[in-house]
Structure 1
Amino acid sequence: MSQPLINKFVVVGIGLIGGSLATGLTQRGACAEVIGIARKPETCDEAVARGVVARAYTSLRDVASELGKGDVIFISVPTLSVTAVLQEIKDFISPDVTITDGASVKGSVQRAAEQVFGVIPPQLVLGHPIAGSEKSGVTAANPNLYENHRVILTPFSNTSAQDLALVSAMWQAVGAEVLTMSVEEHDEVLGATSHLPHVIAYSLVDTLAQDIHNPNIFRYAAGGFRDFTRIASSDPVMWHDIMRANKVAILQSMDLFIDNLSRLRSSIEHEDSDYLLKVFSRAKEARDEFTVMLAQRQVSTKKE
């Protein structure tokens, strides 16, 4: 039997993202052992009982002496909690250990690393899997979550080539396609394509639930409402942190959206039929092109 890609895989934060990567690597034989780190002892116990990890602790220091070259620590905690994890890594973890993360905002992780270490450590490979679910917690772990999804890595000029290669291979082992881009481009793109839709979904559901005083408002909602607002069931703490961490890019996207929405409102009020039809047609065309792109990507992935 071939040697696993990773010796010890340590997941800090045993929720949907971290738990899914842990179970995915285990099921594919890509790591020798999975160790979990969680703040609450009951989370540790449940993760072990469910087979998400082989063993679990409440602090990295409990396993620090075991870790070295060939081991990977994956940080999967809410964005604003990353600094505390990096501080533990600085205090207790060997520089031979590969460190990576799954945070949705890379600029905040970069700033946290610079705050803790002074510079970005060569062993730290920032990353973000473009996959998820409205479910959260250790019970949401899905070993196939990353199949045919993209993972963006944002390496720096001093990032270790060996650590970058290991992190890339780790994601490929669970069926993901790995891309690279700069931190700035990542946060701008995700601010528009992921963070803004969550803002809209949360705001829409809150508006309907709190401000439109009709007890039947959700009773007669159809599939379109369900599909459009699904992401409003996502973890509020995680998205609270994301909004604060990627504030600049999100506000820019929100301003554009609000401006376009205001023009659309005006066209409805003044019965500007030409403008309405133009916007709806343009949006349909763009959405149809996106659907074709997704289909082509899936076909290409299957062939590979």
Structure 2
Amino acid sequence: MGVAELNKIVIYGVGLIGGSFALALRQAGAVREIVGFGRSKTTLDEAMRLGIVDRIGESEAAEVADADLILLATPVAQMATIFARIAPYLGANTLLTDGGSTKSDVVAAAYANLGDKVGQFVPAHPIAGAEKSGASAALAELYQGKKVVVTPLPENSDAAIASVRLFWELCGAAVCELTPAQHDEVFAAVSHLPHLLSFALVHDIAQRDNRDLLLSFAASGFRDFTRIAASSPEMWRDICLANRGALLSELGLYQRELEHLHQALTEADAAKLEEVFRVSSQVRGSWKQQ
């Protein structure tokens, strides 16, 4: 499938991820018509007003068969239901991709619901987010210079993988590949755990009687560490549960790290504290420059 053949794409979830995908492809001149589906009529109407979609989808029967590409940009817990709705109407030449932050669960849902059409689904995860959500948060530039991970299935043809890679590249992204299991292990460590910790710190403060006093003195360190705690509770509930095995493993490692720090503080072990801080500072400093 080439770019000129993108007569129609269908997007489930026209918020930050799906809306930005639509705007980026529109800006690239790569699509003629964009159809949106979603749970909220308010969000869909807003997406129409903002020019993200050309029209709101009528039904799977009316929209899916002649679509060149379908993007699932909903919370991951909704994807199994959407696969089941799409499957009976999926055209032989229609490709599917997604923007979910976990992959093993989404892949399992695809196998369970798409049957012999599963080869048309090329899973993906754009590493580009923000705390804001909804259609108004969508940006045509969101994916510029950002990574998108694709996790191809054995059933995917080379042409299907190449096409999905191309669509994300047209959005300005740098595309790389992992297996679904590798993806979930990596992002448990560098994305899902940090979000869990950020939510936990803010929740701890929120339950205290003097929380207003504490927050009145919070400055840049607290702001930077807790920025991601303003993210969608529903989305992060789904992500944590979907990847709970890998996340529990990472949480266990982090708890051991905290135990070592607790011991160092208890014993007033200045050398141990400084060593931990030195290694962390060096790694963080070198990562910043990449």
For the pair 1:204 / 2:201, whether they are aligned, the reply is: yes
Q: Which position in structure 2 is the counterpart of 1:22?
A: 22
Amino acid aligned to 2:66: E
Q: Which position in structure 2 is the counterpart of 1:229?
A: 226
Please tell me whether the aligned partners of residues 129 and 150 of structure 1 are also in contact (alpha carbons under 8 angstroms).
Answer: yes
* Superposed counterparts of 1:173-184, under 5 Å: 173-184=170-181
Q: Which deviations, in whole Å up to 9, do the C-alpha atoms of 1:155-193 show, x marking residues without a partner? A: 122212221111101111111000011111000000100
Q: Which position in structure 1 is the counterpart of 2:97?
A: 100
* Superposed counterparts of 1:70-109, under 5 Å: 71-109=68-106
Cα deviation, residue 65, structure 1? 4.4
More deviation in 254-263 or 156-165?
156-165
Please tell me whether the aligned partners of residues 34 and 55 of structure 2 are also in contact (alpha carbons under 8 angstroms).
Answer: yes
Q: Which position in structure 2 is the counterpart of 1:298?
A: none
Please tell me whether the aligned partners of residues 110 and 120 of structure 1 are also in contact (alpha carbons under 8 angstroms).
Answer: no
The count of corresponding residues between Structure 1 and Structure 2 is: 289
Distance in structure 1 (CA, Å) of the matches to 2:130 and 2:116: 33
TM-score normalised by L of structure 1: 0.91
Amino acid aligned to 2:47: A
Please tell me whether the aligned partners of residues 10 and 36 of structure 1 are also in contact (alpha carbons under 8 angstroms).
Answer: yes
Please tell me whether the aligned partners of residues 25 and 173 of structure 1 are also in contact (alpha carbons under 8 angstroms).
Answer: yes
Q: Which position in structure 1 is the counterpart of 2:66?
A: 66
TM-score normalised by L of structure 2: 0.95
Q: Which position in structure 2 is the counterpart of 1:299?
A: none
Q: Secondary structure at the match of 1:66?
A: coil
Q: Which position in structure 1 is the counterpart of 2:9?
A: 9
More deviation in 133-142 or 35-44?
35-44
Q: Aligned to 1:256, which of 231, 253, 256?
A: 253
Cα deviation, residue 214, structure 1? 4.0
More deviation in 88-97 or 210-219?
210-219
Distance in structure 2 (CA, Å) of the matches to 1:66 and 1:155: 23
Cα deviation, residue 41, structure 1? 2.4
For the pair 1:266 / 2:257, whether they are aligned, the reply is: no
Please tell me whether the aligned partners of residues 44 and 57 of structure 1 are also in contact (alpha carbons under 8 angstroms).
Answer: no
Q: Which position in structure 2 is the counterpart of 1:194?
A: 191
Q: Which deviations, in whole Å up to 9, do the C-alpha atoms of 1:204-257 show, x marking residues without a partner? A: 011111136342111111112111111001111000000110010100000000
For the pair 1:132 / 2:133, whether they are aligned, the reply is: no
Q: 1:212 to 1:248 in 2, by over 3 A?
A: farther
Distance in structure 2 (CA, Å) of the matches to 1:212 and 1:108: 39
For the pair 1:213 / 2:210, whether they are aligned, the reply is: yes
Q: Aligned to 1:240, which of 227, 237, 240?
A: 237
Distance in structure 2 (CA, Å) of the matches to 1:287 and 1:120: 44
More deviation in 124-133 or 91-100?
91-100
Cα deviation, residue 57, structure 1? 2.4
Q: Which position in structure 2 is the counterpart of 1:302?
A: none
Cα deviation, residue 120, structure 1? 6.8
Distance in structure 1 (CA, Å) of the matches to 2:91 and 2:72: 16
Q: Secondary structure at the match of 1:136?
A: coil
Distance in structure 2 (CA, Å) of the matches to 1:5 and 1:28: 14
Amino acid aligned to 1:89: I
Q: 1:91 to 1:5 in 2, by over 3 A?
A: closer
Amino acid aligned to 1:29: G
Q: Which position in structure 2 is the counterpart of 1:296?
A: none
Q: Which deviations, in whole Å up to 9, do the C-alpha atoms of 1:113-163 show, x marking residues without a partner? A: 121134671111000001100011111101100001000001122212221
Q: Secondary structure at the match of 1:9?
A: strand
Q: Which position in structure 1 is the counterpart of 2:54?
A: 54
Please tell me whether the aligned partners of residues 103 and 180 of structure 2 are also in contact (alpha carbons under 8 angstroms).
Answer: yes
Amino acid aligned to 2:87: K
Please tell me whether the aligned partners of residues 8 and 34 of structure 1 are also in contact (alpha carbons under 8 angstroms).
Answer: yes
Please tell me whether the aligned partners of residues 113 and 120 of structure 1 are also in contact (alpha carbons under 8 angstroms).
Answer: no
Aligned-residue sequence identity (percent) comes to 37
Amino acid aligned to 2:155: N
Please tell me whether the aligned partners of residues 65 and 94 of structure 2 are also in contact (alpha carbons under 8 angstroms).
Answer: no
Q: 1:229 to 1:59 in 2, by over 3 A?
A: farther
Backbone CA RMSD of aligned residues: 1.6
Distance in structure 2 (CA, Å) of the matches to 1:143 and 1:103: 19
Q: 1:269 to 1:98 in 2, by over 3 A?
A: same
Q: 1:158 to 1:89 in 2, by over 3 A?
A: same
Q: 1:266 to 1:211 in 2, by over 3 A?
A: farther
